Amino acid sequence: MNLAYTIQQLVINNMKKTIYLIILLFITSTSFANNLVIGNPSYSSANNTLTFTIKWDNSWRVNGVSGPNNYDAVWVFVKRQPCAANGIWSHALLSTTSNDHSVTGSFNLVADAVSDGMGVFIHRNVSANNQIGSLTSTSSVTIKLSGTYNPALIGSSTNADNFRVIGIEMVYVPQGNFYLGDGRSSNSSNFSAGNTIGAVQITSTTQANGIGAYNNYVSNPVYGCFVPLPSTYPTGYDGFYCMKYEINQQQMVDYLNTLNYTQQAARLAVWGARYPNVTNTYFTNASNYRQMIKVATAGTNNTVPAVFGLDNVWNAYIAAGYLNWQDLTSYLDWSGLRPMTEFEFEKACRGTLNPVAYEFPWGTTAMNTSSGGMNNANTINETMNMVMEGIVHFNWDGGPMRSGFAATSNSNRLQAAATFYGIMEMAGNVVEQCVGGGTGYNFSTFTTVNGDGALTTRGLANVNGWPTDGGTSSGTILKGGGFYTNGGQTAQMMVSDRQFYGGDNRNLSNTRDRNIGGRGVRSY
């Protein structure tokens, strides 16, 4: 199953009577290319709809019995900007009725509305069962706007407004039982059925009642939440969508380019004296570690936002590190997603299979790396220079690799190092950040509520129940290891490893670590 990469966006800009097409991933000539292409959107004021084309590679819908029974999808959402007075970008809510949206084309795609109107999921319909492959021709999507915006649209004139249609590739993780913990031979911080070494089976009953007190899922109170986890806490039993890849550098650029000047300034200020009105100011540390997000066009102090860009075209394809907890949750609030819990991380990796002690996300204990050895390095087609089962990018302090680097058009789950459901790089590349951890923070109020597209004046997430900062005892936990995790730290990449249960100051709000990124999920 070849799984792929990416986000795409297209901007229609009537402000200067010009149409800009941003298609950074327009590649058709290589089997390694993973790309999502969303065409130039056109707005109908009569119908309050946007129409655009879409296609992406490495799509599937499978009806497995012992294997996955799932599909991939693109999460599509819309931002809108009035022309007047440096108008701010607002999140455009969409109709919550699926029949108000439509898709035409040869791949029988459908658009699913969501109950909070934050976007739509585009995916293969049931007639596409057991089909795997790229969508080689475009489909045409028409989505209906609800007329509601967050924040409210002020000074809007439909003939002059700018629209951005943004897509994120995701993977559906269906509702169902699974095992939490890998049943390893001795208890430490890993999940277990209380003081036994057995894994914990999560069922509909677990979700309906809540998993409850710590002794239902860990061996010692220090390893769990000190408040019982209620039925509103996501255990992973219910279905959810998970981003196919880690957030990449292009996605962070797209996000930064819809913030206002004050929000951009606040995000840059994590590093100290950095400002959006100075060209070549980096959001990442500097032009190093393959992570090179910067101010491409300077803003005007306190009025016109900067335009962010990348040092190199290939940066767009590379996962983004340098994301502290506040950076991650800001991106997820902005995009209508949410962080995942540790329970959901284990579900997304292990799926419905029985646990294997000390397993990695691809379901075995086999693991290989070339420690940074690549073919076509620093290009949009880069791969690791080995084909093995369970290849993972770590033990090389040079920076993350291209999302989906291990997948080819004929790789199987083990060769692609994919999870049970086809999710990529859950181990290595950049560290994942999840909700959870040990005692010291009450994360029991975390729910399936998604972001609403709007951020605080400092550009931060503001969703009830989300941990507000990283660090020790923060309700956040680092999972999966990253590129600089070394050969003596392979345990970090195991599905059930919880050695950071106490939190870690590398994702605290006053710092950014090159090895730490993340991804989002969404309860539909």
Kindly list the residues in this chain that would bind Ca ion in the complex (CB under 5 A): 333, 425, 429, 452, 454, 462, 480
* Dihedral angle over CA of 387, 137, 167, 312, nearest 10: 60
- CA-atom Rg of the chain in angstroms: 22
**In terms of CB distance, is 137 or 148 closer to Ca ion?**
148
Q: Which amino acid is at 39?
A: G
Q: Is 45 exposed, middle or buried (0-12, 13-18, 19+ CB in 10 A)?
A: exposed
**In terms of CB distance, is 161 or 333 closer to Ca ion?**
333
> C-beta of 154: minimal distance to Ca ion in Å?
18
Count Cβ atoms below 10 Å from residue 156 Cβ, excluding itself.
Answer: 16
> C-beta of 354: minimal distance to Ca ion in Å?
24
Give the burial string for 251-270 (b: 16+ CB within 10 Å, else e).
bbbbbbbbbbbebbbbbbeb
Strand partners for 172: 241
Q: Which two tokens stand for residue 77?
A: 């959402």
Return the residue matching tokens 């279905």: 239
> C-beta of 246: minimal distance to Ca ion in Å?
5
Q: Which two tokens stand for residue 381?
A: 């087609």
> C-beta of 46: minimal distance to Ca ion in Å?
31
**In terms of CB distance, is 96 or 462 closer to Ca ion?**
462
| Cβ–Cβ < 8 Å for 25, 5 | yes
**In terms of CB distance, is 315 or 450 closer to Ca ion?**
450
Strand partners for 163: 12, 80
**In terms of CB distance, is 429 or 507 closer to Ca ion?**
429
Q: To 5 degrees, how large is the angle CA 221–CA 227–CA 231?
A: 120
Count Cβ atoms below 10 Å from residue 129 Cβ, excluding itself.
Answer: 13
> C-beta of 1: minimal distance to Ca ion in Å?
18
> C-beta of 132: minimal distance to Ca ion in Å?
23
> C-beta of 424: minimal distance to Ca ion in Å?
9
| Cβ–Cβ < 8 Å for 116, 463 | no
> C-beta of 482: minimal distance to Ca ion in Å?
6
**In terms of CB distance, is 49 or 329 closer to Ca ion?**
329
> C-beta of 232: minimal distance to Ca ion in Å?
19
> C-beta of 452: minimal distance to Ca ion in Å?
4
Strand partners for 69: 63
| Cβ–Cβ < 8 Å for 243, 170 | yes
Helices (H) and strands (E) in the chain, counts: 6, 25
Identify the CA nearest to 70 among candidates 139, 135, 131, 5. Answer: 131
Report the SS3 class of residue 501: coil
> C-beta of 182: minimal distance to Ca ion in Å?
18
Terminal alpha carbon distance of the chain: 24
Identify the CA nearest to 23 among candidates 141, 143, 165, 171. Answer: 165
Return the residue matching tokens 């277990």: 192
Round to whole Å and give the CA distance between 408 and 404.
9
> C-beta of 320: minimal distance to Ca ion in Å?
11
Phi-psi map region of 125: left, alpha, beta (phi>0 left; psi -120 to 50 alpha): beta
> C-beta of 396: minimal distance to Ca ion in Å?
14
Round to whole Å and give the CA distance between 217 and 224.
8
Q: To 5 degrees, how large is the angle CA 500–CA 503–CA 508?
A: 130
Q: To 5 degrees, how large is the angle CA 396–CA 399–CA 402?
A: 110
Return the residue matching tokens 């993780």: 173
